[in-house]
A and B are shown apart, each in its own frame.
Chain A
Amino acid sequence: MNNYVSYQLQDFIPFSADVYFRLLERINETWWPLHLLGLALGATALVLALKKRERLVWLLIAPVWAFVAVVFFMQYYAQLNWAGHYVGYAFLAQAILLLLLALAGFSRSKVSAANTSAVANSRPAAVAIGLGIALTGLLALPLMATLSGGGWWQAQVFGIHADPTAISTLGLALMLLRGWRLWLVACIPMLWLLLSGLTLWVLQATEAWLLFAVLAAALVGIAVLCRYPEKKA
């Protein structure tokens, strides 16, 4: 038998659905009411993104990623999955990246004169997609816990859990960035959402489809923005 063909996705998921959702619940029990601060930070970042205050957005979001890296992944998720520490390091790297964007301010991109009007036309579409994705992370995902029968204590909240944090950050990136900077910021959130979506799919959780839909929408948004190259220095 071919060794690689014989592996199934479920061979890489070392925990069951009830244990994973209990993990989410335990995090909520421990950290409540920090969720309110997380939601407030997310909402503020969204408003700032609409006002194109890019550096402030990343300054607000960077510590959120560091918190999720240490608390969600290293303190909790790593108990169930030995790879949790490594994902935690990836989230810490994302926190540092966002901090650099905020401090160095090189998130601003330039477009060639020929493409100025085209970008102006494409930007609202990307902003709309980004806004939809960011709102999905802030509102839709927490609501899904109740719709899928898990109850509020299993709700995933921006700034506390990994999925909504990655989703909303991806949305904000689509609203604010273009070119290689967009890819750079979107890379870790998208990889995590793919990993988490596949995990939830194996666990037969409804949330998996939401994560896949977000990934598909983000790819469409990135494709729209990537049609217009930045001006070379």
Chain B
Amino acid sequence: MSNSFTGSNRLTRRHSIKLLAAAMAASLLPAWPGFAASSGRWQKAIGASNKTLPVIGMGTWRTFNVGNDARLLAARTELVKAFFELGGGMIDSSPMYGSAPDVMGHALSQLDMADSLFAAEKVWSPAGGSAREQVADLQKRWKIPQFDLLQVHNLSDWREHLAVLRELKAAGKVGYIGITTSHGRRHSEVEQIMASENIDFVQLTYNISEREAENRLLPLAKEKGIAVIANRPYNGGSLINNLKRRGERLPGWAAECGCTSWAEFLLKFIVSHPAISCAIPATTRLEHLQENMRAGLNPMPSAENRKQMVRFFDSL
């Protein structure tokens, strides 16, 4: 899929200058390897590999669990279509998310534009069946031949599942493997796994109000070349909803790093962390998706901007 600017995203002189400035700034940042600006949309390398990933992906918790409701299936298909049109890549789901994998399968089968799809799924013990059975079942539900990434959901029986996922990867049946956690749970165990196991991805909660991962997990991920997916970028919606409800305004300097909405402010903060590969906000609304995807455009906050963002957020 093309990532070129189209329609309202047309490249202007101002954009060009900002792009140039951002590119120069990026070249001066020693701690930010692994990302590449592609037509203004930010991508980051997956660990030490050459493959890159758009920094804004899409989560499906709650939002894609619509059962076989024809009206809502059509609405979610439109959302996935827009996601790809806006340069989206990673879509993350789980057998824990009810009908979300089936809904994704329905959407993908309706669309002929999923080349950029980076399909991420999970295995989860309470879903029943072995890890292999779960993966086979999920592939049928997504209607795709194989996943790009398979993760152990919330560390459930991670030793057994990770062993199976490693076999699948060795057999070429999945591109990458990883583990997930959320809400800051079991970070010490996550750290042990990251340090001792050969994994490509770790998914954890990281946002401007939950920055615990900065202490140990993100540096370790950087050191080990493990790609990091940030879940709950809006803290389940409460973070952005509270800011909007209180009528908080963006600081004037936010525009310098391309933040024209709270969505962009919050997401750009996340994906500009050197260790974060991708954030996966979830939504059911097209306008929110568009806001989210704009966060993946240049310019990005510098290290100094990030400090400013934290200071500003903490002062609210």
Contacting A at CB under 8 A, from B61-85, are 61-63, 65-69, 71-72
B: contact size bracket:
20 to 34
Asked whether, in the complex, the Cβ of A15 is within 8 Å of the Cβ of B284, the reply is no
Quick check: which of B14-22, B38-46, B180-188, B300-308 contacts chain A, the rest being far away?
A: B180-188
Picked from A10, A13, A22, the residue with its CB within 8 Å of the CB of B69 is A22
A115 within 8 A of B: no
| Given the contacts A79-B98, A80-B67, A80-B99, A14 and B61 also touching, CB distance less than 8 Å | yes
Output the least CB separation between B281 and chain A (Å). 15
Output the least CB separation between A228 and chain B (Å). 44
Contacting B at CB under 8 A, from A10-53, are 10-11, 13-16, 18-19, 22-23, 26
Asked whether, in the complex, the Cβ of B236 is within 8 Å of the Cβ of A19, the reply is no
Asked whether, in the complex, the Cβ of A1 is within 8 Å of the Cβ of B97, the reply is no
Picked from A8, A11, A16, the residue with its CB within 8 Å of the CB of B284 is A16
A81 within 8 A of B: yes
- The chain B residue sitting closest to A1, CB to CB, is B184
Asked whether, in the complex, the Cβ of B183 is within 8 Å of the Cβ of A14, the reply is no
Asked whether, in the complex, the Cβ of A80 is within 8 Å of the Cβ of B236, the reply is no
Total contacts A-B at CB 8 Å: 58
Output the least CB separation between B209 and chain A (Å). 14
Output the least CB separation between B160 and chain A (Å). 20
| Given the contacts A1-B212, A80-B98, A11 and B183 also touching, CB distance less than 8 Å | yes
A: contact size bracket:
20 to 34
B136 within 8 A of A: no
B127 within 8 A of A: yes
- The chain A residue sitting closest to B210, CB to CB, is A1
B96 within 8 A of A: yes
Output the least CB separation between B272 and chain A (Å). 25
- The chain A residue sitting closest to B62, CB to CB, is A16
Q: Report the separation of the CA atoms of residues A24 and B62 in the bound assembly, to the nearest whole angstrom.
A: 17
A82 within 8 A of B: yes
Q: List 20 A-B contacts (CB under 8 A).
A: A1-B184, A1-B185, A1-B212, A3-B185, A7-B183, A14-B61, A14-B62, A15-B62, A16-B63, A19-B65, A22-B69, A23-B69, A79-B67, A80-B65, A80-B66, A80-B67, A81-B98, A82-B95, A82-B96, A82-B126
- Interface residues of chain A, those whose CB is within 8 Å of chain B, are 1, 3, 6-8, 10-11, 13-16, 18-19, 22-23, 26, 76, 79-82
Q: A8-B236, A79-B99 are in contact. List 7 more A-B contacts (CB 8 A).
A: A3-B185, A6-B184, A14-B65, A14-B98, A19-B66, A82-B96, A82-B98
